[in-house]
Amino acid sequence: MAGNILEPGNAREYKTGGWRAERPKHNPEDCLWIKNGTCALCCIFCPDNAIKLSEKDGKFLYAYDYDYCKGCGICANECPKSCITMEAE
């Protein structure tokens, strides 16, 4: 009724990646996260929590979740090392 959503925590089911006109491309060369696991500004500023930073066997890994990345470009704007560029889909 009235569009009410009766279960909490379901924003995950709404995949907004389809809105994307530009996709972020990550260049790991100068990335501080890859280098020493610091900075992470892109991840902090991402409004959709679509940047997945992880650590495995002492290595720092970087990935985008394109199911939710809307291509807003905030990550590219925030990156102090300019390692993120936006490319047309």
Partner 1 sequence: MAATVKMTKPKGSIEGLTGDAAIAYALKQCDIDVLSAYPITPQTIIVEDYQRFFAEGQVKTKVIPVESEHSAMSACIGASAAGARVATASASAGLALMWEVLYCASGMRQPIVLAVANRALSAPINIHNDWSDSYGARDSGFIQMYCQSCQEAYDTTIMSFRIAENHNVLLPAMVCIDGFILSHNVERVELLPDEVVRDFVGVRVPVQPLDTDKPITMGPLCLTDYYFEFKEQEDKAMREVFKVYKDVEAEFQKVTGRSYGMYETYKTKDADIIMLTHSSPAGTAKAVVDALREQGEKVGVLRMKLFRPFPAAELAKELSSAKAVAVFEKCLSFGAPTNPLALEVRTALYDLPKKPMVTDFVVGLGGRDVPPATIVEGYNKTKQYLEKGKAPLYETLGVRK
What's the token pair of residue 22?
Answer: 């530009």
CB atoms within 10 A of CB 58: 6
Between 5 and 88, CB nearer to partner 1: 5
When asked if residue 4 is in the footprint of partner 1 (CB under 8 A), the reply is: yes
CB atoms within 10 A of CB 6: 6
Footprint (CB under 8 A) of partner 1, residues 27-66? none
CB of 4 to partner 1, least distance (A): 5
When asked if residue 88 is in the footprint of partner 1 (CB under 8 A), the reply is: no
The DSSP secondary structure of 32-45, one letter per residue, reads HHHHHS---HHHHH
When asked if residue 12 is in the footprint of partner 1 (CB under 8 A), the reply is: no
Between 14 and 56, CB nearer to partner 1: 14
When asked if residue 2 is in the footprint of partner 1 (CB under 8 A), the reply is: yes
Is residue 21 within 8 A of residue 88, CB to CB? The reply is yes
When asked if residue 18 is in the footprint of partner 1 (CB under 8 A), the reply is: no
CB atoms within 10 A of CB 46: 21
| Interface contacts to partner 1, rule CB under 8 A | 1-8
